[in-house]
Structure 1
Amino acid sequence: MKLYVGNLSYQMTDADLEAAFAAFGAVSSAKIITDRETNRSKGFGFVEFENRAEAEAAIESLNGKEVSGRALVVNEARPPKPRTGGHSNGRGRF
């Protein structure tokens, strides 16, 4: 089960994120999303658990909990929205 984790401290690392969730069970992956150009945190990330019960326990315990001075937002991740085909100037391609 994949979780969305928002309102993260910009100083938090992937390892910090994993450590915060490891108390609830085996974390398959923990990734903070960064800006491609600046490589700075965007303030959110994703944590994946193999066991749904462990993931639900993490949501219950950590949603709204203050970590590094910020109240976390933790819920089940939604599937990504389909991306559009990029920039279009309305003329089509030849």
Structure 2
Amino acid sequence: MSIYVGNLAYEVTDADLNTVFSDYGSVKRIHIPTDRETGRPRGFAFVEMDTEEEESKAIDTLDGAEWMGRSMKVNQARPRN
């Protein structure tokens, strides 16, 4: 499973997300997609953790939480079409 994290500030880095999500378990991977033309982050990310239990705990706690002046949208990532 992977976690979708939306409504992020464009300045957010992998290290920032790792700091936030490591409070809920071990972070395996973080991916912050960038715009192909500008190279600028697109305002969302995907986070993978070691267990589904850790991911569920992070989703339940962080969805709607205020971080860096924005209300995060955190839920289970949907499979790509």
Query: Structure 2 regions of 5+ residues with no counterpart?
Result: none
Q: Is the 8 A contact 1:15 1:30 kept in 2?
A: no
Residue deviations 1:67-87 (CA, integer Å, cap 9, x gap): 100000000001001xxxxxx
The alignment covers a number of residue pairs equal to 81
Structure with the larger helix share:
2
In 2, the alpha carbon distance for the partners of 1:40 and 1:13 equals 12
Q: Which has the higher strand share?
A: 1
* 2:9 equivalent in structure 1: 9
Percent sequence identity is 49
Q: Which has the larger radius of gyration?
A: 1
Secondary structure of the structure 1 residue equivalent to 2:64 = coil
> After TM superposition, which residue ranges in structure 1, 4 or more long, deviate above 4 angstroms?
none
Give the RMSD, CA atoms, in angstroms: 0.8
Shift of residue 13, structure 1, vs aligned partner: 0.7
CA shift at 1:47, angstroms?
0.2
